[in-house]
Amino acid sequence: MQFLTLSISLGIITLITACGEAPVSSSTNQPEKTDEAPVVSFDHGKENTSTEKLSTETITIAGVTIRVSAQGTMKPKQKYQIAIGLIDGEKGAVIRVWIGGKTKAGSMVFKAQGHGDHYHAHAEVPDEVNSQTALWLEVQSASGETETGSISLQ
pLDDT confidence of residue 28:
46
Please tell me the total count of domains within the chain: 1
- Strand bridging mode 118-124 / 113-115: antiparallel
pLDDT in tens, 79-134: 999 999 999 998 989 999 999 999 999 999 999 999 989 999 999 999 999 988 99
pLDDT confidence of residue 21:
44
pLDDT in tens, 3-35: 545 556 555 565 555 544 444 444 444 444 444
Taking residues 50-69, what's their average pLDDT?
89
- Global pTM value: 0.68
Query: Sheet holding 118-124: strands in order across?
Result: 32-33, 53-61, 64-72, 79-88, 118-124, 113-115
pLDDT confidence of residue 12:
57
Round to whole Å and give the CA distance between 68 and 17.
Answer: 13
- Given a contact cutoff of 8 angstroms between Cβ atoms, the answer to whether 126 and 76 are in contact is yes
Round to whole Å and give the CA distance between 84 and 107.
Answer: 20
Q: Which residues of 12-34 are buried (b: 16+ CB within 10 A; e: fewer)?
A: ebbbebbeeeeeeeeeeeebeee
Q: Residue 6 belongs to what domain range?
A: 2-42+49-152
pLDDT at 154 over 90: no
pLDDT confidence of residue 27:
41
More confident residue, 73 or 23: 73
Task: Quickly list H helices, 2-146.
Answer: 2-18
